[in-house]
Structure 1
Amino acid sequence: MTKQSASKAAFTVSTLEFMRELVQNNNREWFQANRPRYESAKAELCGVTERVLMGLSPFEPLANTSVKDCIFRINRDIRFSKDKAPYKSNLAFAIGPGGRHSGRIDYYVHIQPDNQSFLGAGMWQPTPANLAKFRQEIDYNVQELKDIIEADEFKTYFPEASGEVMKTSPKGYPADHPEIDLLRRKELFFLHRYSDKDVLKPNFADEIVRGCRIIKPYCDLLNYLFFDEKEEPVSL
């Protein structure tokens, strides 16, 4: 870690105040007038991201993954949005091989004032093919998934399961299937929320690493199902 990033490897009250004021003044004129405050907030985001990358390196293959690959721009894409506010109300980074565009299941960190920050990971907006693989795994071998997400440490740290759930049974599965609650899920994304007090702690990056370590088995299972599992040859 560089000296500059080491000194910025934590969030400060000033960053949360800047983000809070940005929500009330979400326009280019105000942002440009307050750009030095944004640059300071971005430096803190980069410092925390770098520290998380270092903390993950013993158990995640993240070679050649840089901070700039992981952090999200604060500018919103407003081309197809009715909301024309030019800036996001949060700071964020995602860590996977190669950064936020890894294409795999990664770790997402969202920083937003007023106790809206969180670490999240899991199945979010899967392709139809990947959702089918997930449901097939539930049908054939649900115990591996349940051993992960029903473990005491996991449930304590990630008490909140987010994502779309079907009101009816998915095609091909009976309504009385013993795992129908899991089968109805179109997304299964787990969250750990952080208070502003948590975000401002000097060891906040280490706490994120702890959360990533806890949810890693779930991410590994999804990555195996979606990307790494070899198709069995068809017997003729």
Structure 2
Amino acid sequence: MAVTFNGFGQKAIPFLKALDFHQSREWFQENRDLYERELYEPFGDLVETLSERFAAAGLGLRGDRKKSLFRINRDVRFSKDKRPYNSHLSAILSLDGTKVEQGVLFVYIGLDRCFAGVAWWQPGPELLQAMRKAIATKPAEFRSLVGTLKKAGLELDTEGCMKRAPRGFEHVKEADLAQAIRNRHFAVRHTIDPAGIHTPALVEELVDFTLRAKPLLGWGKAIQGMVSED
């Protein structure tokens, strides 16, 4: 049965604020109904509504409420920070509907910020090497991608960029290409106004963003396909 996203509850962000303050399993269990009603269930509706819209638009990204949402519980096994809960909830829509596939839409609703990203995020060594090679050997194609994204109001993210050229790419001297080759991922972001998460209009906002970012998905997918054929 088709679902419809009607917006996150008005208490979604206040819940995250209170959870961040209490950081208590007892408090969370006492307020689980609030969490599910205001945040978790609406997020599931958002993912499944977007999946339907993306299918109609030929984007191919999909997910569901069981596989796409990340747990609000933190993995504290290898962290000095032992707080048991995140102050955000997030989800991924991908080509195969899992969280491990590359070329995704990531949606983050948090106490600190709300945003979406279309990304090839920290791709494996083989795919990352192929992407860097594509930039170095087909600069016109890459610059065309950057120009198309720029016209759509988007820029490639440089977070986590290497300080030096990776081995084998030291010869690339043109500033824009050298910068891109140092990237560890290829992503664009869209800031979501927290006040706008409570209405169905968020769906249109995210569909529009993903359509504008579609060239990045296509660029990475073509390179991924060549890697898979090798």
* TM-score with structure 2 setting the length: 0.87
| Equivalent in the alignment of 2:192 | 194
Equivalence for 1:219: 217
For each residue in 1:193-212, what CA deviation from the matched residue of structure 2 results, as whole angstroms up to 9, or x when unmatched?
11212223331012111111
Q: Cα deviation per residue 1:85-123 (whole Å; 9 max; x = unaligned)?
A: 111211111001332324221110001135x11111223
Number of the residue aligned with 2:90: 92
2:168 counterpart of 1:172: yes
Q: Which moved more, 1:130-139 or 1:74-83?
A: 74-83
**AA of the residue aligned to 1:164:** G
Tell me what 2:179 maps to. 181
Cα distance, 1:28 vs structure 2 = 0.3
> Where does 1:66-81 land on structure 2 (aligned, <5 Å)?
66-81=64-79
Q: By how many angstroms is 1:225 displaced?
A: 1.1
* Residue 208 (structure 1) aligns with: 206
Partner of 2:159: 163
Say if 1:26 and 1:138 are closer, same or farther in 2 by CA, change over 3 A.
same
SS of corresponding position for 1:125:
coil
Give 1:223 deviation, angstroms.
2.3
The CA distance in 2 between the partners of 1:62 and 1:167, in whole Å, is 33
Gapped runs of 5+ residues in structure 2? none
What is the percentage of aligned positions where both structures have the same residue?
26
Aligned partner of residue 107 in structure 1, secondary structure: strand
AA matched with 1:75? N
Question: Is 1:117 matched with 2:120?
Answer: no
Secondary structure at the aligned position of 1:20 is classed as helix
> In the aligned structure 2, how far is the partner of 1:33 from the partner of 1:144?
54
Name the CA shift for 1:123/1:61 in 2 (closer, same or farther; >3 Å): closer
Render the CA deviation track for 1:137-193: whole Å, top value 9, x for unaligned. Answer: 011112223222322443x1x346143222222222336622212122222322111
CA–CA separation in structure 2 for the residues paired with 1:101 and 1:123 = 12
Structure 2 Cα separation of the partners of residues 43 and 109 of structure 1: 15
Q: Is the 8 A contact 1:168 1:184 kept in 2?
A: yes
Q: 1:26 aligns with which of 23, 26, 45?
A: 23
Pick closer, same or farther for the CA change 1:169–1:230 going to 2, 3 Å.
closer
User: Quick one: distance in 1 between partners of 2:102 and 2:96?
Assistant: 10
Which position in structure 1 is the counterpart of 2:46?
48
- 1:15 corresponding residue in structure 2: 12
1:61 partner letter: G
Q: Which runs of 4+ in 1 moved over 3 A?
A: 230-233
Q: Following the alignment from structure 1 to structure 2, what is the Cα–Cα distance between the partners of residues 230 and 35?
A: 45
